[in-house]
Amino acid sequence: MKVAVGGTFQPLHDGHKLLLRTAYEIDGQVDIGLTSDEMARHARIRNVEPYAMREQRLREWIEKKLGKKPHITKLEDPYGTALTEDYDYIVVSPETYPTALKINELRKEKGLKLITIVRVNYVLAEDGKPISSTRIDSGEIDTHGNLLRKGKHEGSGRDQ
Amino acid sequence: MKVAVGGTFQPLHDGHKLLLRTAYEIDGQVDIGLTSDEMARHARIRNVEPYAMREQRLREWIEKKLGKKPHITKLEDPYGTALTEDYDYIVVSPETYPTALKINELRKEKGLKLITIVRVNYVLAEDGKPISSTRIDSGEIDTHGNLLRKGKHEGSGRDQ
Protein backbone atom coordinates (compact mmCIF):
# COMPACT_ATOMS: atom_id res chain seq x y z
CA MET A 1 0.00 0.00 0.00
CA LYS A 2 1.18 3.54 -0.76
CA VAL A 3 0.01 6.32 1.52
CA ALA A 4 0.23 10.09 1.02
CA VAL A 5 -0.04 12.71 3.75
CA GLY A 6 0.96 16.36 3.73
CA GLY A 7 1.15 19.61 5.62
CA THR A 8 3.30 22.30 7.19
CA PHE A 9 3.42 20.51 10.55
CA GLN A 10 4.39 23.48 12.63
CA PRO A 11 3.93 23.69 15.52
CA LEU A 12 3.58 19.93 15.60
CA HIS A 13 0.31 19.54 17.52
CA ASP A 14 -1.98 16.68 18.55
CA GLY A 15 -4.01 17.08 15.33
CA HIS A 16 -0.88 16.49 13.23
CA LYS A 17 0.09 13.57 15.43
CA LEU A 18 -3.29 11.88 14.93
CA LEU A 19 -2.94 12.44 11.18
CA LEU A 20 0.51 10.84 11.15
CA ARG A 21 -0.46 7.95 13.42
CA THR A 22 -3.44 7.23 11.16
CA ALA A 23 -1.21 7.25 8.07
CA TYR A 24 1.29 4.86 9.66
CA GLU A 25 -1.51 2.55 10.89
CA ILE A 26 -2.03 1.64 7.24
CA ASP A 27 0.34 -1.15 6.39
CA GLY A 28 2.51 0.38 3.69
CA GLN A 29 4.89 3.09 2.56
CA VAL A 30 3.99 6.55 3.85
CA ASP A 31 5.13 9.53 1.76
CA ILE A 32 4.99 12.79 3.70
CA GLY A 33 4.78 15.99 1.69
CA LEU A 34 6.14 18.88 3.72
CA THR A 35 5.37 22.35 2.42
CA SER A 36 8.27 24.45 1.17
CA ASP A 37 8.89 27.75 2.95
CA GLU A 38 7.39 29.62 -0.02
CA MET A 39 4.18 27.56 0.16
CA ALA A 40 3.89 27.63 3.94
CA ARG A 41 4.45 31.39 4.17
CA HIS A 42 2.12 32.15 1.30
CA ALA A 43 -0.74 30.36 3.05
CA ARG A 44 -0.54 32.20 6.37
CA ILE A 45 0.36 35.47 7.94
CA ARG A 46 2.11 33.95 10.94
CA ASN A 47 5.77 32.99 11.03
CA VAL A 48 6.81 29.61 9.77
CA GLU A 49 10.10 27.99 10.71
CA PRO A 50 12.52 27.09 7.90
CA TYR A 51 11.91 23.84 6.06
CA ALA A 52 15.03 22.14 7.45
CA MET A 53 13.93 22.78 11.02
CA ARG A 54 10.35 21.62 10.40
CA GLU A 55 11.69 18.56 8.61
CA GLN A 56 13.98 17.67 11.50
CA ARG A 57 11.27 18.02 14.19
CA LEU A 58 8.87 15.93 12.14
CA ARG A 59 11.50 13.27 11.50
CA GLU A 60 12.51 13.09 15.15
CA TRP A 61 8.92 12.73 16.39
CA ILE A 62 8.12 9.96 13.90
CA GLU A 63 11.31 8.05 14.65
CA LYS A 64 10.89 8.38 18.41
CA LYS A 65 7.13 7.94 18.80
CA LEU A 66 6.16 5.76 15.85
CA GLY A 67 9.43 3.89 15.44
CA LYS A 68 9.45 4.49 11.67
CA LYS A 69 11.97 5.96 9.24
CA PRO A 70 9.99 8.75 7.62
CA HIS A 71 10.06 9.45 3.91
CA ILE A 72 9.66 13.22 3.58
CA THR A 73 9.64 15.22 0.35
CA LYS A 74 9.18 18.92 -0.28
CA LEU A 75 5.80 20.19 -1.47
CA GLU A 76 6.13 23.08 -3.92
CA ASP A 77 2.37 23.08 -4.64
CA PRO A 78 -0.68 21.66 -2.80
CA TYR A 79 -0.61 18.39 -4.73
CA GLY A 80 3.01 17.20 -4.85
CA THR A 81 3.45 13.64 -6.06
CA ALA A 82 -0.25 12.89 -5.48
CA LEU A 83 -0.95 13.92 -9.09
CA THR A 84 1.60 11.57 -10.60
CA GLU A 85 2.17 8.57 -8.30
CA ASP A 86 -0.39 5.84 -7.67
CA TYR A 87 -1.23 6.13 -4.01
CA ASP A 88 -3.77 3.79 -2.42
CA TYR A 89 -4.58 6.22 0.38
CA ILE A 90 -4.37 9.89 1.14
CA VAL A 91 -4.79 10.81 4.80
CA VAL A 92 -6.25 14.28 5.40
CA SER A 93 -7.72 16.52 8.07
CA PRO A 94 -11.10 18.28 7.62
CA GLU A 95 -9.04 21.31 6.58
CA THR A 96 -7.23 19.47 3.76
CA TYR A 97 -10.18 17.24 2.73
CA PRO A 98 -11.12 19.65 -0.13
CA THR A 99 -7.53 19.37 -1.45
CA ALA A 100 -7.88 15.57 -1.57
CA LEU A 101 -11.15 15.91 -3.51
CA LYS A 102 -9.38 18.31 -5.89
CA ILE A 103 -6.48 15.86 -6.32
CA ASN A 104 -8.94 13.14 -7.32
CA GLU A 105 -10.70 15.52 -9.73
CA LEU A 106 -7.36 16.31 -11.41
CA ARG A 107 -6.37 12.62 -11.45
CA LYS A 108 -9.69 11.76 -13.09
CA GLU A 109 -9.03 14.33 -15.84
CA LYS A 110 -5.65 12.71 -16.42
CA GLY A 111 -7.16 9.22 -16.51
CA LEU A 112 -5.39 8.15 -13.32
CA LYS A 113 -7.02 5.97 -10.68
CA LEU A 114 -8.61 7.81 -7.78
CA ILE A 115 -7.12 7.67 -4.28
CA THR A 116 -9.07 6.51 -1.21
CA ILE A 117 -9.40 9.42 1.17
CA VAL A 118 -9.01 8.80 4.89
CA ARG A 119 -10.48 11.80 6.63
CA VAL A 120 -9.15 12.18 10.15
CA ASN A 121 -11.23 14.29 12.50
CA TYR A 122 -9.98 17.37 14.26
CA VAL A 123 -8.56 16.83 17.69
CA LEU A 124 -10.49 19.13 19.99
CA ALA A 125 -8.93 21.47 22.51
CA GLU A 126 -10.16 21.73 26.09
CA ASP A 127 -12.86 24.17 24.97
CA GLY A 128 -14.28 21.76 22.38
CA LYS A 129 -12.96 23.75 19.40
CA PRO A 130 -10.35 22.24 17.07
CA ILE A 131 -6.66 22.44 17.88
CA SER A 132 -5.02 24.52 15.15
CA SER A 133 -1.60 26.01 14.54
CA THR A 134 -3.17 29.47 14.44
CA ARG A 135 -4.65 29.05 17.92
CA ILE A 136 -1.34 27.76 19.26
CA ASP A 137 0.61 30.61 17.68
CA SER A 138 -1.71 33.18 19.20
CA GLY A 139 -1.01 31.73 22.65
CA GLU A 140 -4.63 30.65 23.14
CA ILE A 141 -3.86 26.92 23.58
CA ASP A 142 -0.81 24.67 23.78
CA THR A 143 -0.03 21.90 21.28
CA HIS A 144 -2.24 19.49 23.26
CA GLY A 145 -5.22 21.84 23.28
CA ASN A 146 -4.94 23.00 26.88
CA LEU A 147 -6.30 26.51 27.30
CA LEU A 148 -3.54 28.89 28.32
CA ARG A 149 -5.61 31.96 29.17
CA LYS A 150 -2.48 34.07 29.26
CA GLY A 151 -3.40 36.39 26.46
CA LYS A 152 -1.48 36.64 23.24
CA HIS A 153 2.09 35.78 22.35
CA GLU A 154 3.19 34.45 25.71
CA GLY A 155 3.47 30.92 24.36
CA SER A 156 3.16 27.66 26.19
CA GLY A 157 5.01 26.64 29.30
CA ARG A 158 4.45 22.92 28.81
CA ASP A 159 4.87 20.59 25.88
CA GLN A 160 6.15 17.09 25.21
CA MET B 1 -20.04 13.57 -8.88
CA LYS B 2 -22.25 10.77 -7.58
CA VAL B 3 -21.89 9.92 -3.91
CA ALA B 4 -23.15 6.86 -2.00
CA VAL B 5 -23.60 6.63 1.76
CA GLY B 6 -25.55 4.10 3.80
CA GLY B 7 -26.62 2.92 7.23
CA THR B 8 -29.45 2.37 9.70
CA PHE B 9 -29.07 5.88 11.15
CA GLN B 10 -30.79 5.19 14.44
CA PRO B 11 -30.41 6.78 16.84
CA LEU B 12 -29.03 9.55 14.65
CA HIS B 13 -25.80 10.40 16.50
CA ASP B 14 -22.82 12.70 15.95
CA GLY B 15 -20.95 9.96 14.05
CA HIS B 16 -23.79 9.69 11.52
CA LYS B 17 -23.96 13.46 11.26
CA LEU B 18 -20.25 13.73 10.43
CA LEU B 19 -20.68 10.98 7.84
CA LEU B 20 -23.57 12.85 6.20
CA ARG B 21 -21.85 16.24 6.34
CA THR B 22 -18.75 14.72 4.70
CA ALA B 23 -20.87 13.19 1.93
CA TYR B 24 -22.64 16.48 1.23
CA GLU B 25 -19.32 18.40 1.21
CA ILE B 26 -18.61 16.63 -2.07
CA ASP B 27 -20.13 18.62 -4.86
CA GLY B 28 -22.64 16.21 -6.36
CA GLN B 29 -25.69 14.00 -5.95
CA VAL B 30 -25.76 12.09 -2.66
CA ASP B 31 -27.69 8.79 -2.63
CA ILE B 32 -28.44 7.58 0.88
CA GLY B 33 -29.12 3.87 1.33
CA LEU B 34 -31.22 3.31 4.44
CA THR B 35 -31.45 -0.27 5.69
CA SER B 36 -34.81 -2.00 5.51
CA ASP B 37 -36.32 -3.18 8.80
CA GLU B 38 -35.39 -6.77 7.93
CA MET B 39 -31.75 -5.83 7.34
CA ALA B 40 -31.48 -3.53 10.34
CA ARG B 41 -33.03 -6.06 12.73
CA HIS B 42 -31.01 -8.92 11.37
CA ALA B 43 -27.77 -7.08 12.11
CA ARG B 44 -28.46 -6.32 15.76
CA ILE B 45 -30.23 -7.54 18.84
CA ARG B 46 -31.50 -4.14 19.90
CA ASN B 47 -34.76 -2.62 18.74
CA VAL B 48 -34.83 -0.67 15.54
CA GLU B 49 -37.53 1.84 14.71
CA PRO B 50 -39.62 1.23 11.57
CA TYR B 51 -38.12 2.35 8.26
CA ALA B 52 -40.67 5.15 7.75
CA MET B 53 -39.78 6.70 11.08
CA ARG B 54 -36.02 6.43 10.52
CA GLU B 55 -36.46 7.83 7.02
CA GLN B 56 -38.43 10.82 8.31
CA ARG B 57 -35.93 11.68 11.09
CA LEU B 58 -33.02 11.45 8.63
CA ARG B 59 -34.83 13.55 6.04
CA GLU B 60 -35.74 16.22 8.56
CA TRP B 61 -32.20 16.52 9.91
CA ILE B 62 -30.67 16.83 6.44
CA GLU B 63 -33.22 19.40 5.29
CA LYS B 64 -32.92 21.46 8.46
CA LYS B 65 -29.17 21.25 9.16
CA LEU B 66 -27.62 20.79 5.73
CA GLY B 67 -30.25 22.60 3.67
CA LYS B 68 -30.42 19.76 1.13
CA LYS B 69 -33.26 17.66 -0.28
CA PRO B 70 -32.12 14.13 0.55
CA HIS B 71 -32.40 11.26 -1.88
CA ILE B 72 -33.06 8.16 0.25
CA THR B 73 -33.59 4.62 -1.02
CA LYS B 74 -34.19 1.37 0.85
CA LEU B 75 -31.28 -1.05 1.28
CA GLU B 76 -32.40 -4.69 1.13
CA ASP B 77 -28.80 -5.94 1.23
CA PRO B 78 -25.47 -4.36 2.31
CA TYR B 79 -24.65 -3.16 -1.22
CA GLY B 80 -27.81 -1.59 -2.65
CA THR B 81 -27.26 0.35 -5.85
CA ALA B 82 -23.48 0.48 -5.21
CA LEU B 83 -23.09 -2.72 -7.25
CA THR B 84 -24.89 -1.40 -10.29
CA GLU B 85 -24.63 2.39 -10.44
CA ASP B 86 -21.42 4.28 -11.19
CA TYR B 87 -20.71 6.24 -8.06
CA ASP B 88 -17.62 8.44 -7.83
CA TYR B 89 -17.47 8.25 -4.03
CA ILE B 90 -18.73 6.08 -1.23
CA VAL B 91 -18.51 7.66 2.21
CA VAL B 92 -18.10 5.19 5.09
CA SER B 93 -17.27 4.94 8.77
CA PRO B 94 -14.50 2.64 10.06
CA GLU B 95 -17.34 0.17 10.78
CA THR B 96 -18.64 0.10 7.21
CA TYR B 97 -15.24 0.48 5.51
CA PRO B 98 -14.97 -3.33 4.99
CA THR B 99 -18.30 -3.23 3.14
CA ALA B 100 -16.92 -0.58 0.79
CA LEU B 101 -13.86 -2.76 0.11
CA LYS B 102 -16.21 -5.70 -0.58
CA ILE B 103 -18.30 -3.55 -2.93
CA ASN B 104 -15.18 -2.69 -4.93
CA GLU B 105 -14.12 -6.33 -4.99
CA LEU B 106 -17.52 -7.32 -6.40
CA ARG B 107 -17.46 -4.42 -8.87
CA LYS B 108 -14.02 -5.46 -10.07
CA GLU B 109 -15.31 -9.02 -10.72
CA LYS B 110 -18.14 -7.53 -12.75
CA GLY B 111 -15.75 -5.32 -14.72
CA LEU B 112 -17.18 -2.13 -13.25
CA LYS B 113 -15.03 0.84 -12.26
CA LEU B 114 -14.06 1.03 -8.61
CA ILE B 115 -15.64 3.62 -6.32
CA THR B 116 -13.35 5.98 -4.47
CA ILE B 117 -13.77 5.52 -0.75
CA VAL B 118 -13.91 8.34 1.77
CA ARG B 119 -13.31 6.85 5.19
CA VAL B 120 -14.56 9.16 7.93
CA ASN B 121 -13.24 8.52 11.41
CA TYR B 122 -15.33 7.78 14.45
CA VAL B 123 -16.50 10.68 16.52
CA LEU B 124 -15.31 10.00 20.05
CA ALA B 125 -17.46 10.17 23.15
CA GLU B 126 -16.40 11.95 26.34
CA ASP B 127 -14.45 8.85 27.41
CA GLY B 128 -12.40 8.75 24.20
CA LYS B 129 -14.18 5.67 22.82
CA PRO B 130 -16.28 5.88 19.65
CA ILE B 131 -19.90 6.99 19.75
CA SER B 132 -22.04 4.06 18.62
CA SER B 133 -25.73 3.28 18.45
CA THR B 134 -25.17 0.30 20.75
CA ARG B 135 -23.65 2.47 23.45
CA ILE B 136 -26.46 4.99 23.12
CA ASP B 137 -29.12 2.27 23.29
CA SER B 138 -27.61 0.83 26.44
CA GLY B 139 -27.88 4.22 28.10
CA GLU B 140 -24.12 4.59 28.44
CA ILE B 141 -23.85 7.81 26.40
CA ASP B 142 -26.16 10.26 24.66
CA THR B 143 -26.14 10.93 20.90
CA HIS B 144 -23.37 13.51 21.37
CA GLY B 145 -21.15 11.15 23.33
CA ASN B 146 -21.74 12.60 26.79
CA LEU B 147 -21.41 9.94 29.48
CA LEU B 148 -24.71 9.35 31.22
CA ARG B 149 -23.51 7.09 34.07
CA LYS B 150 -27.08 6.12 34.83
CA GLY B 151 -26.72 2.41 34.19
CA LYS B 152 -28.66 0.59 31.54
CA HIS B 153 -31.92 1.37 29.81
CA GLU B 154 -32.64 4.68 31.46
CA GLY B 155 -32.06 6.54 28.23
CA SER B 156 -30.88 10.07 27.72
CA GLY B 157 -32.37 13.14 29.27
CA ARG B 158 -30.83 15.54 26.79
CA ASP B 159 -30.62 15.56 23.05
CA GLN B 160 -31.06 18.02 20.22
Task: Dump pLDDT digits (tens) for B125-151.
Answer: 999 999 999 999 999 999 999 999 755
B positions 68-97 inside 8 Å of A (CB):
88
> Which residues sit opposite B118 in a β-bridge?
A117, B91
Instruction: Give B-chain residues touching A114 at CB under 8 angstroms.
Output: 88, 114, 116
Which residue ranges of chain A lie beneath pLDDT 50? Answer: 152-160
Mean pLDDT (chain B, rounded): 91
Q: Using CA coordinates, name the residue in chain B closest to A116.
A: B117
Question: Does the CB of B116 have a partner CB in chain A at under 8 Å?
Answer: yes
Q: In sequence order, what are the residues at sequence separation of 6 or more whose Cβ sits closer than 8 angstroms to the Cβ of residue B115?
A: B4, B82, B87, B88, B89, B90, B100, B103, B104, B107
Where on the phi/psi map is residue A155: left (φ > 0), alpha (ψ -120 to 50), or beta? left
With CB atoms and an 8 Å threshold, state whether A119 touches B120.
Answer: yes
Average pLDDT over residues B45-65: 92
Average pLDDT over residues B112-118: 94
Share of chain A above pLDDT 90, in %: 83
3-state SS, B114-129, equals CCEEEEECCCECCCCC
Instruction: Give A-chain residues touching B119 at CB under 8 angstroms.
Output: 116-119
State the pLDDT at residue A78.
93
With CB atoms and an 8 Å threshold, state whether A119 touches B117.
Answer: no
Task: Dump pLDDT digits (tens) for A64-83.
Answer: 999 999 999 999 999 999 99
State the pLDDT at residue A150.
58
Q: Quick count: other Cβ atoms within 10 Å of Cβ B15? A: 25
Instruction: Give the residue among B64, B26, B76, B146 at the shortest CA–CA distance from A119.
Output: B26
Instruction: Give A-chain residues touching B122 at CB under 8 angstroms.
Output: 121
How far does A98 lie from chain B, in Å, by closest CA? 8
Q: Quick count: other Cβ atoms within 10 Å of Cβ A120? A: 23
State the pLDDT at residue B149.
74
Straight-line distance from the first to the last Cα atom of chain A, in angstroms, rounded to the nearest whole number: 31
